[in-house]
Structure 1
Amino acid sequence: MLIDTHGRIATDLRVSLTDRCNLRCTYCMPEEGLRWLPKPELLTDDEIVRLVSIAVSELGITEVRFTGGEPLLRPGLVSIVERCAALAPRPDLSLTTNGIGLARTTEALRTAGLDRVNVSLDTLRPEVFRTLTRRDRHHDVVSGLTAARDAGLVPVKVNSVLMRGINDDEAPHLLDWALEHDYELRFIEQMPLDAQHGWQRGHMVTAAEILEKLRARYALTPEVSSLRGSAPAERWLVDGGPARVGVIASVTRPFCRDCDRTRLTADGQVRDCLFAREESDLRTALRSGASDQDIAERWRAAMWGKKAGSGLDDPSFLQPRRPMSAIGG
């Protein structure tokens, strides 16, 4: 198992397939983009599948989520999904994407064995989408969502970040739309993971503000109980259910105590926390001929020292050196 000194066991693996992205979201990276990882530093398809296999067979991982950057930009994505779906025991396989290109790849991904998708969409207004992402691709994202739902990659989850003064008035409208199209909407508090390091707590739209806006239109009932365990989203039944809405309040209501995640970057580094400033190198061991057992032991050691929390409320908190696009969601 991947256990730490606080008794938490990691069963959920987030695998970043690339640090590249075809959007330039203002809360993630500058307009000119970033310096991408050189290709020789990226894990190959075979290396990714081997590490996922070790995680599943040796370390007790049951869920694998492919992220980026934008994972649809990875040429071998469909093959990676297919090979991971063939592992025993078979992990639950999902994908977090901005949705651009999803319409043309959904069928191939479903056939390969992908179970679910999470698609990022922060606004229903194309002009606001252009402002937030610096790209005119709103229609492509909406088309990708439709294709995923029609292909049966359900529940299709939509991730939305509200930005003060830009789209913070859209919370109830986004929920209206999600209910109409049978998507499960999750609002995410903006986190200090931007490449520019311009995040300010006072500019963040909080979970409490989001819920206040939603309750002005809907009756929200906590699902089962107010305890979310290791799930990042607190979920509410909308008008008695069965439809649900979630809020991921990583900043104001963190879930560190029950975190069950381990992360693998596109260049083969293990991260024990989204906000960690240290990483553990598996790529070098992989390319030096290390056995599966040796790699598994290195992974265990990397997770053993995981801190109790993210440290966001500590006055000495420093953002990770890598931005979200290079870490993976």
Structure 2
Amino acid sequence: MVAAVLDQLGRRPGVLRLSLTARCNLACPYCCPDDHDPPELLSPGERRTLIAVAAGLGFSSLRLTGGEPLLHQELEALIEAVQDLRQPAGLREVALTTNGVLLTAARARALRQAGLDRITISLDGADGASVALMSGRAHQGELLLARVLEGVRHAREAGFDPGRGQLKLNAVIDRRRNADQLLPLARLARELGVELRLIEFMDVGNRNGWSPDQVLTAAEMVERIGSRWPLQPQGRAHHGTASRWRYLDRDDDLHLAVVASISAPFCGDCNRLRVTADGQAYTCLFGTAGTDLKPWLRPRPDAAGLRARLQALWGQRHDRYSEERAHLQPGAFLPHAEMAYLGG
């Protein structure tokens, strides 16, 4: 039985988002990733220790992120190495967020065989020009779109069933750049039979030039798509990030989802801890500074010490930046860690 650990707002641990690299093969303007990793990356053994300790504290979901995690050559080995942490030890699922460009048939099969439960693939446009714009890769849009769609197919063929929530699409929507892609993306996801998750453009990091007028709100997205295909609200699951809507014109229970971290914050039941590729723990996506966990991982793992540090870190947690943002004075915004470094 995992002992209850509560933060200052009564929130329990739930999701450990572990970044494997800050590098990416794309240059999406809302993320602005680095082309290199920070020094002192965690080793596979250190990551395994961290995940085991976190699972013992109640982090039952592990999401592997980047940068682009498919650039990490030991990804499958790590997934396989944590399988013994599943119930009753505490880990219930292992998920992955990827841009899908490198998701070959062989890679998809290897991930499934290693024990991966779910894949979310990012795609911010439904045509070559939009993909080129949103990926920061001029003149490569058609090629990238084709590869991502192949990745979706490979994932499905490897056994990731979208009908069971094992395969989804993410799209970040920027009012200035790709708001015209709402209906095309929804149409594409409907054709693929995959849930589409539309994400409001967020003020994560300091490089992406975020301003409030770039935010197309979740309510506007739902209104636009609902005017084309009727939608029925399904609500937001406790601890979930997305509000879901069911398409009424289909009999396959396909859903649309929206993540409204700007217009309708959900800090009240946030259960996420983010750890960067170099072992910095952040208790909020919009955090300004992390806590270095390496002193409890090297030169040799100190599982008891790491558990105590994570327990204390969570117990001191009181972050609710998205809820507080609306009340901040102009100019009061603090510098944030970059999205690619945090793993989104």
Q: Does TM, scored on the shorter chain, surpass 0.5?
A: yes
Equivalent residue number for residue 328 of structure 1: 343
| Letter of the structure 1 residue corresponding to residue 47 of structure 2 | I
Cα drift, residue 92 of structure 1: 0.2
**For the structure 1 residues 204 and 55, does the alpha-carbon distance in structure 2 shift closer, same or farther, using more than 3 Å as the test?**
same
In structure 2, give the amino acid aligned to 1:102: L
- CA distance in structure 2 between the partners assigned to 1:179 and 1:127 by the alignment: 21
State yes or no: 1:318 paired with 2:334: yes
Q: Does 2:307 match 1:296?
A: yes
Question: In structure 2, what is the equivalent of residue 229 of structure 1?
Answer: 238
Partners of 1:38 and 1:275 in 2: CA distance: 19
- Structure 2 match to 1:102: 103
Cα distance in 1 for residues equivalent to 2:145 and 2:236: 35
Could you say what secondary structure the match of 1:18 adopts? coil
* Structure 1 contact 192–319 (Cα < 8 Å) conserved: no
Q: Is the Cα–Cα contact under 8 Å of residues 5 and 306 in structure 1 kept in the other structure?
A: yes
In 1, the alpha carbon distance for the partners of 2:293 and 2:161 equals 33
| SS of aligned partner of 1:230 | coil
Decide which moves more: 72-81 or 281-290.
Answer: 281-290
Residues 197-244 of structure 1: CA distance to partner in whole angstroms, max 9, x if unpaired? 510011121112211111111111111xx3532100000111166111
Q: Matched residues in 1 for 2:285 and 2:249: separation?
A: 34
Contact 1:96 1:119 in 2 (8 A): yes
What is the DSSP-based 3-state SS (H/G/I as helix, E as strand, rest coil) of the residue aligned with 2:25?
Answer: coil
Following superposition, the deviation at residue 128 of structure 1 comes to: 1.5
Q: Which amino acid aligns with 2:58?
A: G
Q: Which amino acid aligns with 2:12?
A: I
Q: In terms of mean alpha carbon deviation, does 168-177 or 84-93 score higher?
A: 84-93
- Aligned 8 A contact 2:283 2:319 in 1: no
The 4+ residue runs of structure 1 with deviation greater than 4 A are none
* Separation (CA, whole Å) in 2 of partners of 1:217 and 1:35: 40
What displacement does 1:276 show? 1.2
2 CA distance for matches of 1:147 and 1:11? 29
The alignment's TM-score, normalised by the length of structure 1, stands at 0.93
1:192-271 aligned at under 5 Å gives the runs 192-223=203-234, 226-239=235-248, 242-271=253-282
Task: Write the letter of the residue equivalent to 1:251.
Answer: I
Q: Is the 8 A contact 1:114 1:153 kept in 2?
A: no
3-state DSSP of counterpart to 2:297? helix
Task: Tell whether the 8 Å contact from 1:2 to 1:299 is kept in structure 2 after alignment.
Answer: no
Give the Cα–Cα distance (whole angstroms) in 1 for the partners of residues 305 and 205 of structure 2: 34
- Give the whole-Å Cα distance in 1 for the aligned partners of 2:307 and 2:239: 23
Residue of structure 2 equivalent to 1:22: 25
Specify the alignment match of 1:146 in structure 2. 153
Residue segments in structure 1 that go unaligned for 5+ positions in a row = none
| Same amino acid, percent of matched pairs | 36
Secondary structure at the counterpart of residue 85 of structure 2: coil
1:68 and 1:325 in contact (8 A); partners too: yes
One-letter amino acid matched to 2:30: Y
The 2-side partners of 1:209 and 1:99 are apart by 27
Q: Which amino acid aligns with 2:146?
A: H
| TM-aligned CA deviation for residue 127 of structure 1 | 1.7
How far, CA to CA, are the matches of 1:60 and 1:165 in structure 2?
40
Q: How many Å separate the matches in 2 of 1:101 and 1:146?
A: 13
